[in-house]
A and B are shown apart, each in its own frame.
Chain A
Amino acid sequence: MSDNWKRHENFRTPLKRAVGLGSAKDGTGHFIWQRITAIVLVLLGAYLIGLLLSLGGASYELARAIVGDTVNATILVAFLIAMFWHAKLGLQVVIEDYVHTPALAGVAHVANIFVCALAAIASVLAVIRISLGA
């Protein structure tokens, strides 16, 4: 915060400073996307769990053939994107609830976005490589 230096002469409570400013304007979007990704994960997750249970002990060739199948690869990519989006939204709330040091919270939020985005990109790229036989 830019007015940290005058904190000693400021007896107003955080509530007093926040009242009247309105909402942060993006809570509804967070709520809706968390639910949309949840529905996607339930539907596609059920398909993928069924696929995983039908696999048995997967040899390398069999695992590649199943992941690389056009339909399975499409569903897997959709699932991975929804999963890491959902994870980012969920971890964001956990950080907001438990990390109270502004600087640490900022770092945690950025790290959350970086890790979830990188994980999504790496896993989607892996599925594409398998699907295209690279």
Chain B
Amino acid sequence: MAAPDHPALKPRVRERPLSPHLQVYRWQVQMVTSILHRATGVALVVGALAMVYALVALAAGPERWETFTACAGSVLGKIILFGFSWALAYHLLNGIRHLLQDAGHGFAIRDFVRNSWISIIGSVVLVAVAWVIVLMQWGQS
């Protein structure tokens, strides 16, 4: 008599991919880099539209440009600019990481974790350097 779990007795079921259940995963840095890349990408679209506004204002004349610089120079404007600059730095660094991965580099688990951290920490360093330069120039002018 065949065992109840004999393969021939099982219904033929096509193996299907299951969507991942996020709640069973321990948080790992690779998940953070992946989610942040998409989130910063969407945020940067808004930043790109702000860039369009800046260029159109610059083309439209001194008054419109004044309005733009007043918006960008306000406290809220500076906070948003700072946010955009970090999103850009992160998306840029992690984008380069993705391009290197597309070329087949950095897939060993240790490398993957390490270059994930490089994206995150590097973006913070890059933004800090950029804003130090900007603030130094504001001090001079």
Residues of A at the B interface (CB closer than 8 Å) are 15, 35, 38-39, 41-42, 45, 49, 53, 55-57, 60, 63-64, 67, 83-84, 87, 90-91, 94, 115, 119, 122-123, 125-127, 129-130, 134
Contacts of B32 in A (CB 8 A): none
The closest CB in chain A to the CB of B42 belongs to A94
- Please give the distance in Å from A51's CB to the nearest CB on chain B: 12
Interface majority SS (helix, strand, loop, mixed), chain A: helix
In the complex with contacts A53-B133, A64-B58, A87-B95 CB distance below 8 A: no
- In the bound complex, what is the Cα–Cα distance between A95 and B41 (angstroms)? 13
Bound: A129/B44 CA distance, A = 25
Q: Which residues from chain B sit less than 8 Å from chain A, CB to CB? A: 14, 16, 38, 41-42, 44-45, 48-49, 51-52, 55-56, 58-59, 62, 65-66, 88, 92, 95-96, 98-99, 102, 130, 133-134, 137-138, 140-141
Q: CB < 8 Å: which of B45, B48, B96, B134 contacts A42?
A: B96
B42-A119 in contact (CB<8A): no
Chain A's closest residue to B45 (CB) is A87
Least CB distance from A21 to B in Å reads 16
Q: Which residues of the partner chain B approach A90 to less than 8 Å between Cβ atoms?
A: 38, 41-42, 45
Interchain CB contact under 8 A, A45 and B59: no
